[in-house]
Amino acid sequence: MVEFFINGQAVQAEDNQTVMQAAKANGYFIPYFCWHPHLSVPGNCRICMVEVTNEGQPADSGWLDIACNMPITKGMRVLTDSPRVRERRKETLQFITLNHPVDCGICDKAGECTLQDYHYEYNGSPSISIDAKVHATKHFALSERIVLDNERCIMCTRCVRFTREISKSDALGVLNRGDHSLIRPVEDGAFEADPYSDNVIDLCPVGALLSRAFLHKARVWYLEPTPSICPGCERGCSIAIWHRKSEWKLKALDARQNNRIDRVTPRENAAVNGPWICNKGRDLARIFERARAELAMLKGQPVDLQAALGSARALIAAARQPVALVSSWGSNEELAAFQAALGSRFASYVKADWQVEPGEPVEDDLLIKADKNPNTAAARALFPALPEDARGALPPATDLVLVWGEGFSFAQLPAGAKIIYLNSWLQPENGHADVFIPISVMTERHGHYTNFQGVVSAFEPCFARLPGVADAESVFAGLATPAAGARP
């Protein structure tokens, strides 16, 4: 450990830490654009200037240097907000905003833009330049997912370094020099194919890199993030699901906009995904905003939920060789509820609710895993896996099958077996089941997932549960009557 001083206070730093790293670790804020804790240090934005003197030197002998690339030395004295520092940051911001357009009113980064924040804190003055701004491409199609506004780009190069150092696609670079520099993709389409490309949107400190899916959809101050877990694979990345705040609920427009997923961003979790997620995690609206099943049914005929539960209890009581196919999307709480209520009554097997889709990356060395289900580890800790040939778990004598969740074709069921089906979406199988019970999705309830490494993470509800829909936990409890108790 090395002792040095920040703003007159003695602090401890790890060997080989920079001033930026040590300051953050000790709770001192230094502004930055190009620096990122998980990327290399280019030192090109210069906004992180601090004033430095060494031990034994007079206070007025200090110099200005960038905190991101300056190693700590014993006894060093650092001032993070002195008059000299503030004046240099003001000059730096005047340079950075020399050609930057003042189009904050239409920029999707408004409310999250660090250039706005630092300009307010350290500059706050109109540009001193009387020359016309240099113009560049406004809506360059970086990929099908991302639009680039080169006039807003401050050349921090975070996006370039991400593709070189994290996703390893080497898909972005800098074209030209000086105030004509442009971020551009390589010509072989590597950025289009990069499964982590959307992380550069989060990395961009200004409004240069914009999501096509979110473009001009909502202001961030109308939204709030709910902590959740990506169910796209067994990694279980920590995410934030952004949706409209209740106090900003829309009344005159389509009410469905109040209950939609506006965007998904990563929540940093060193034990699981660090600060990144893949593009599939960004597209959860495609999964969760499919048409929902909201009515219980008996052989395709709508009934109320209690009638469906009563019929299911009767089927369970009458069954002599029942089998349950357990969802690998069920939460730890739902799995425990099933085991407690029905585990002794059914021969249970864990099925895969989702498989690899055409064109989807199967697995890589960063985050993506081959199992496209979030809670397989917890489910298989309680029940065996369904064999590839399902007939091994569903002998001809099977007279009742409880299917929980998606991903299983009813064509594989034994002829004559009764079916109890628990699912959340409108699907043809719903009407073929003897009893269909609509259940909630993870955006409507609390719960936990256990990933392939054994890390347990929580998710919270974003929206209210739909009318006529039940939580799987309560369904299992409702099916656990004396008549549906021990196996005969």
The size of the chain, in residues, is 488
Among the listed residues 32, 24, 26, 27, the one whose alpha carbon sits nearest the alpha carbon of residue 12: 26
Torsion of CA 184, 186, 187, 191, to 10 degrees: -90
Interval 324-369: pLDDT, tens = 999 999 999 999 999 999 999 999 999 999 999 999 999 999 999 9
459 near 427, Cβ under 8 Å?
A: no
Are residues 473 and 333 in contact, defined by beta-carbon separation less than 8 angstroms? yes
Residue 424 to residue 78: CA distance in whole angstroms? 58
Half-sphere exposure of residue 368, counting CA atoms within 13 Å on the CB side? Answer: 15
Query: Encoding tokens for residue 112?
Result: 């999250």
Within 13 A of 189's CA, how many CA atoms are on the CB side? 2
Q: What confidence score (pLDDT) does residue 59 get?
A: 65
pTM of the model: 0.93
Mind listing the domains of the chain with CATH numbers? 2-96 (3.10.20.740), 104-211 (3.30.70.20), 225-288 (2.20.25.90), 296-484 (3.40.50.740)
Report the alpha-carbon distance of residue 56 to residue 2 in Å, rounded.
16
- For the beta carbon of residue 159, count every other beta carbon within 10 angstroms: 27
Spans in the chain with pLDDT lower than 70: 59-60, 481-488
Confidence at residue 296, expressed as pLDDT on a 0 to 100 scale: 97
pLDDT at 178: 85
pLDDT tens-digit map of 146-155:
999 999 999 9
Task: For the beta carbon of residue 463, count every other beta carbon within 10 angstroms.
Answer: 18
